[in-house]
Structure 1
Amino acid sequence: MILEKIRDPEDIKLLNSAQVDRLCRELRDFLVENVSKTGGHLASNLGVVELTVAIHRVFDTSKDRLVFDVGHQCYCHKILTGRQSLFHTLRQLGGLSGFPKPYESEHDAFVAGHASNSVSVALGMAHARTLLHEDYSVIALIGDGAMTGGLSFEGLNDAGASGEPMIVILNDNGMSIDANVGGLSRHLSRLRSEEGYNNFKRWYKDKLQGDSPAKKHLYNASSHVKHWLKSNLLPESTMFEKMGFSYMGPVNGHDVQKLTQMLTWAKEKNGPVLLHVLTEKGRGYSYARQDPERFHGTPPFDPATGKPLRQSKPSFSSVFGEALVELAREDNRICAITAAMTSGTGLSRFAKEFPDRFFDVGIAEGHAVAMAGGMAKQGLIPVFAVYSSFLQRGFDMLIHDISLDNLHAVFCVDRAGLVGADGQTHHGCFDPAFLSQVPGMTVLCPSSFSELKEMLHFALFSVTGPVTIRYPRGAESVYKGCSLPVQFTPLREGSDFTVLTYGILVNEALKAADILEKSGIFIRVLKLNRIAPLSADEVSAMLKGTTRLLVLEDCLDAGCVGQRVAALALEAGVKLDKLILRNCGSTLPTEGSVEQLYSSRKLDGVGVAASIEEALHEQ
């Protein structure tokens, strides 16, 4: 096999055309075989096999800087840069990340996991190269889905005007996770190939430029011919050219030889270049090709049939989607907004049943929040379903376009807390802190499917200002009760210690209670239904009779609920002899299953029980 002999990217440069084609076939087989066991992002990686190989034939990524955007399409890059033997650990605890990580390899230029930042990062690297008088190429690889994010246009606008030599590769497959939407998608679909023009331009420059005065005179005198040819071959300039880029393409993203040629040409240009590459998501594996949305991020599956090894269960996302449809049938003011995550947030059925009230804005969370503000101001009830880590991009708008006018918009924050295999860039560990800082924001935390439905109804029809419902990825666990969205609910009584928690961590608190009871230790378990707003009076009532408290959360410690509860308890005169803040600490966990990550940060029932036993022993 060719792939087994690739120990370093330099090995790829030594292959002939037939060997390169074979390498691409072997890469696809390797991807399907391995991702079927570990789960991961399959369709997008199948689509960039030839592009990745071509990049490594032209550049040296140990020195040249390759910046990925979003980053989930980096698998082939990792395989070709010395990590093939570790690929069975992909997205596992202590294994390879599913995203670029500089700590893994010098070939990973920059951390990547969210969308639209690659051009800005690459421009920063290009500026550094120029100011430090160094010599290397800078490449940003951005998908057309990420191009729907406003930050990408800020970067393109500045990069084109800067004149810095850099290459932006636009990987155009017509999709992000779901099919792309908006004017950019339509613009890209209309772009015509510049291949003939670029071939002529290169020949023209080679023939007429040189030291000869005659050649220089002819080149300058005939420049109007070049412009005439361009205007006839390409009657309409692309928006990228108007930004200051030399536009190349579109080019077949599955033709390694052509890609290698175009990248070589782009490398020779002394300025900003945009290479437009057309690829097919899921290429080479029929099941992923037919259903690229399902194989964007897939659990382990049978490669022979494409079917998942485990049957999917109802999730918080799917229950939310079904509940919202039922409520939307009763009230035509209810609208749903997504940022390129229709299926991921459970809105597929809503989109089909209420197409006029469904809005996919692309990867543009800030825009989505501001648009929700406009809808709410004019009498609609907008519901923005968004992953916790993605909502971070809309924080400014939450304050200025929602909070200042106390607008009734509903934010359904999916993937709250630890999400597992996607790791650091996707954990929802910040929203308890930043949402609680938004004036007027109510933050509800269901612990079960029934509570999610109850709280959604409450958020839509009983809250007057902005409201968030935060819930985790996946299915419910032990606790399946229902609490009206009052401040707190006692789930277990005991006098030795009190555990205060919210969301699905109530399951771990209850497990800890069972473990401790066997040792004769009886703890009180309190479930917070609402983490914002919180008042000193509410905390005083909640902690009445409590002298020893453990607050359990899967967020970072800075700004966590436990800190606010402790401060309010002090304000209310509640004396705590022992306070334990059990959370994720000051750093984000890496990859691994949620259960493994809970255990590693002592957030599981065993860890909580051990912390309480240790505290009691110390006293």
Structure 2
Amino acid sequence: MSLLNTINSPADLRALNRHQLSALADELRQYVIESVSKTGGHLSSNLGTVELTIALHYVFNTPEDRLVWDVGHQTYPHKILTGRRDQMHSLRQHGGISGFPRRVESEYDTFGTAHSSTSISAALGMALAAKTKGESRHAVAIIGDGSMTAGMAFEAMNNAGVYDDINMLVVLNDNDMSISPPVGALNRYLARLMSGKFYAAARNVGKSVLPTPMLELARRFEEHAKGMVVPATMFEEFGFNYIGPIDGHDLESLIPTLQNIKNLKGPQFLHVVTKKGQGYKLAEADPILYHGPGKFNPAEGIKPATTAAKKTYTQVFGDWLCDMASADDKLIGITPAMREGSGMVEFEQRFPQRYYDVGIAEQHSVTFAGGLATEGLKPVVAIYSTFLQRAYDQLIHDVALQNLDVTFALDRAGLVGADGATHAGNYDLAYLRCIPNMVVMAASDENECRQMLTTGYHYPGPAAIRYPRGAGIGAAIENDLSQLPIGKAELKRQGKKIAILAFGSMVHPAILAATSIDATVVNMRFIKPIDQEMIRAMAASHDALVTVEEGCIMGGAGSAVAEFLASANLNKPLLILGLPDQFIDHGDPSLLLAESGLNPEGILTSIQQRFGIEPSV
């Protein structure tokens, strides 16, 4: 019987002999590869944390001791070791386990994560809660080097460093990349810590600052660890006791180091060095490609597509960005650490002097764009809808309030499938349309997305263009950089009695639904400014209005229509369709839309139930 099959909880892991752990790591790594190959999911990051996960659960008394995994896309080994091994076939599937930590899923998932840089704050809260309640337990935050680029991580360290009587450990998992290659001064600092010259200088003075337990550890494992303790680091200036860097794949270094740290009081900082994709040669060679693959054959690896697929909206944006940059040398492209995900690889290659990856720092990306705009440049911020939520104050205060010319390309608007509620862009229409000076658009197909990007780019103020994840309907894409008239909708189908006012991705399903009841369909295009003339005309010529959007109903596009009807004293029956007031779990997007009543059949059923309309003959 394999070792892994005997592990149903960390207690079983802690019952093993130390010499058995390397064999367990090999089995665990292979199980991760096999599981992800069948379901899709995050691979490279999880392969890099196998030994670290084993060591943490072996040394700390989980779940009494709290582990908080930053972002959480590296927690598959953690899930497997905490009783969910036999559920891995359902990973990221509808009704299955999440690809990220979830408190409702397991007591070992102490804090729900999926956005970066939250772990230190949460772990500090847990550590101080233990102190307040008189409980002797540890709180451990495991954070990646990419997540350390965000200001929130340093805000938490600044707060934590003054408490010298808490049981708190921050583990920096340094794999020299997050999703894209690392950027910024912090990465250069970490590289300097790892350099032989810096280590050589540190080891001569290190013994004078080593606490007694660590001094013995340094003697025993010097060949495995680069320095063990580096004095006078930036992290120590924050009030942390810095230890490392050590090899994050060497259990003979990790376990005794963690055991010694466990006996130390006050905020501790352990710097471990891992390799993304460790143990699977294909992922080691191309960790970006294997960051979040779909299903694949582990023996063959990821194969290139053999048939021409429809362009994704992300690709449409990437092509537009390069074309507009060729036409206007004032264009500046900005991404908060999502070069690949936002479709900016070619832009960086062609226009490196106008490309800025600011790291996982969404707040900074928005205000940075505002600063560029004040000097007459034309910044385009490529950002996921769910990540722009993190920069809401900057969007209002630093851009919209000053009416600065910044274009926001909002990828992943609406439901996103397997990544679930943490990554779904369900709220942008509601949180954007209430901001003065904003222009807000939703693309119904690929060509319209390109036109909207051009429209927003030329609008002399803040403009946001939302588009969904994945491919569109396969619309032909025109090569020119044409604009749309701001605030004007488009009549897509003329019918009678019922007028469906559809926004963005819901235009096509609305047309399919309308054919059964001979309803009118309008592609509204703009959420702000909304086309009041079109709404007035539809209200005058139809018995009832229906709005449909792939966004939250509360405060969304349908609410904008209702507000106008009320202000214009137009008493017309209105049915608002959209995403319900709940967080929607992971699953196939088409299934999730159907469950929300936003497929053609669901739209038709809602209209028939509300207005008693019979299908046309």
Query: TM-score with structure 2 length normalisation?
Result: 0.91
Tell me by how many angstroms 1:597 deviates. 0.6
Partner of 1:571: 567
CA distance in 1, matches of 2:134, 2:295: 47
Aligned equivalents of 2:175, 2:230: Cα separation in 1: 25
Shift of 1:259: 0.8
Contact kept, 8 Å, 2:94 with 2:585, in 1: the verdict is yes
8 Å contact 1:447–1:479 — kept in the other structure?
no
Aligned match of 1:529: 525
Match in the other structure for 2:295: 300
For 2:270, the equivalent position in structure 1 comes to: 275
Name the residue aligned to 2:370. 373
Deviation string, structure 1 residues 206-257 (Cα, Å, up to 9, x no partner): 99xxxxxxxxxxxxxxxxxxxxxxxx99785111101100111101000112
Question: Structure 1 residues 467 and 293, CA, compared in 2 at 3 Å: closer, same or farther?
Answer: same
1:484 match: 484
1:426 to 2:423 alignment:
yes
Shift of 1:570: 1.6
Encode CA deviations 1:270-322: one digit per residue, 9 max, x unaligned: 10000001000001111111111111111112212212586664211111111
Q: Deviations over 1:379-400 (max 9, x none)?
A: 1100010001011111111111
Partner in structure 2 of residue 328 of structure 1: 325
User: Structure 1 CA distance, aligned partners of 2:291 and 2:208?
Assistant: 36
Q: Distance in 1 between matches of 2:228 and 2:54?
A: 30
Deviation, structure 1 residue 492: 1.4
Aligned residue in 1 for 2:220: none
Return the alpha-carbon distance in structure 2 between the equivalents of residues 81 and 309 of structure 1. 35
**Other structure's SS at 2:143 match:** strand
Map 1:131-280; keep pairs closer than 5 Å: 131-163=132-164, 164-191=166-193, 197=206, 201-203=210-212, 237-280=232-275
CA deviation vs aligned residue, 1:353-398 (integer Å, no higher than 9, x gap): 1100000000001101001111111011000100010111111111
Q: Is the alpha carbon distance of 1:82 and 1:241 closer, same or farther for their aligned partners in structure 2, counting shifts above 3 Å?
A: same
In the other structure, the counterpart of 2:602 is 607
Indicate if the aligned counterparts of 1:410 and 1:460 stay in contact, CA closer than 8 A: yes
Matched, 1:436 2:461: no
| Residue equivalent to 1:584 | 579
CA distance in 2, matches of 1:138, 1:437: 40
In structure 2, the residue matched to 1:225 is none
Which residue is equivalent to 1:124? 125
State the partner residue of 2:222.
none
| Paired residues for 1:279-290 under 5 Å | 279-290=274-285
Structure 1 match to 2:84:
83
Q: Work out whether residues 310 and 472 of structure 2, in 8 Å CA contact, stay in contact via their aligned partners in 1.
A: no
Q: 1:535 to 1:320 in 2, by over 3 A?
A: closer
Q: Which whole-Å deviations, capped at 9, do the CAs of 1:12-31 have from their partners, x for residues lacking one?
A: 11222342111111111111
Q: State the percentage of identical aligned residues.
A: 43
CA offset digits 1:152-203 (Å, max 9, x no partner): 0000111112223200000001111001100001111111567894799354
1:412 matched to which residue of 2? Answer: 409
Partner of 2:396: 399
Within the alignment, does 1:45 sit opposite 2:46 as a pair? yes
Answer yes or no: is the 8 Å Cα contact 2:145–2:173 preserved in 1. Answer: yes
Distance 1:554 1:419 in 2: 11
Question: Match of 1:300, as an amino acid?
Answer: K
CA distance in 1, matches of 2:391, 2:176: 25
Give the conservation status (yes or no) of the 8 Å contact 1:36–1:301. Answer: yes
Structure 1 CA distance for aligned equivalents of residues 384 and 99 of structure 2: 18
Change (3 A) 1:460 1:542: farther
1:424-479: CA deviation from partner (whole Å, max 9, x where unpaired): 10000111011112210101111111111112222222x11111111111101266
- Cα distance in 1 for residues equivalent to 2:283 and 2:385: 27
Match for residue 215 of structure 1? Answer: none
SS, match of residue 184 in structure 1: helix
Distance 1:128 1:204, change over 3 A: closer
CA RMSD across the alignment: 2.2
The residue number in structure 2 matching 1:553 is 549
Gaps of 5+ in 2: 217-226
In structure 2, give the amino acid aligned to 1:420. G
Letter in 2 for 1:305: E
Q: Deviations over 1:556-588 (max 9, x none)?
A: 2221111121121121122223x2222111112
Distance (Å, rounded) in 1 between the aligned partners of 2:303 and 2:241: 44
Q: 1:269: how far off? A: 0.8
Deviation at 1:135, TM superposition (A): 2.1
Residue 315 in structure 1 maps to residue 316 in structure 2: no
Higher mean displacement: 594-603 or 10-19: 10-19
Alpha-carbon offset, residue 549 of structure 1? 2.1
Q: Structure 1: how far apart are the matches of 2:507 and 2:476?
A: 10
Task: Provide the rounded CA distance (Å) in 2 between the counterparts of 1:353 and 1:200.
Answer: 49
The alignment covers a number of residue pairs equal to 588
Contact 1:448 1:481 in 2 (8 A): no
- Residue correspondence of structure 1 range 100-115 to structure 2 within 5 A: 100-115=101-116
Relative to 1, partners in 2 of residues 1:369 and 1:481: Cα closer, same or farther, differing over 3 Å? same
* 132-141 or 492-501, larger mean C-alpha shift: 492-501
Classify 1:478/1:616 alpha carbon distance in 2 versus 1 (closer, same or farther; 3 Å): farther
Q: Residues of 2 paired with 1:334 and 1:396: CA distance?
A: 24
Give 1:443-454 correspondences, 5 Å limit: 443-454=440-451
- How far apart are the structure 2 equivalents of 1:379 and 1:250? 44
Q: Distance in 2 between matches of 1:112 and 1:580?
A: 35
Corresponding residue SS for 1:525: strand
Aligned partners of 2:598, 2:260: CA distance in 1, in Å? 53
In 2, Cα distance between the equivalents of 1:544 and 1:591? 41
1:456 maps to amino acid: L
Given the superposition, is the C-alpha separation of residues 618 and 525 from structure 1 closer, same or farther in structure 2, using an over 3 Å criterion? closer
Q: Tell me, what secondary structure is at the counterpart of 1:30?
A: helix
Deviation at 1:498, TM superposition (A): 2.0
Distance 1:268 1:542 in 2: 72
Classify 1:11/1:309 alpha carbon distance in 2 versus 1 (closer, same or farther; 3 Å).
Answer: farther
Q: Distance in 2 between matches of 1:446 and 1:172?
A: 39
Partners of 1:44 and 1:449 lie apart in 2 by 32
Classify 1:575/1:8 alpha carbon distance in 2 versus 1 (closer, same or farther; 3 Å). Answer: same
Q: In structure 2, what residue type is equivalent to 1:611? A: S
* Deviating more after overlay: 14-23 vs 273-282: 14-23
Is the 1:302–1:309 contact (alpha carbons within 8 Å) kept by the matching residues of 2? Answer: no
Question: Take 1:342 and 1:253, find their aligned partners in 2: how far apart are those partners?
Answer: 27
1:475 aligns with 2:471: yes
Q: Partners of 1:81 and 1:295 in 2: how far apart?
A: 24
**Distance in 1 between the 2:581 and 2:551 partners?**
9
Offset at residue 543 of structure 1 (A): 3.6
Cα distance in structure 1, aligned partners of 2:394 and 2:603: 37
Match of 2:219 in 1: none
Question: How many Å separate the matches in 2 of 1:205 and 1:440?
Answer: 58
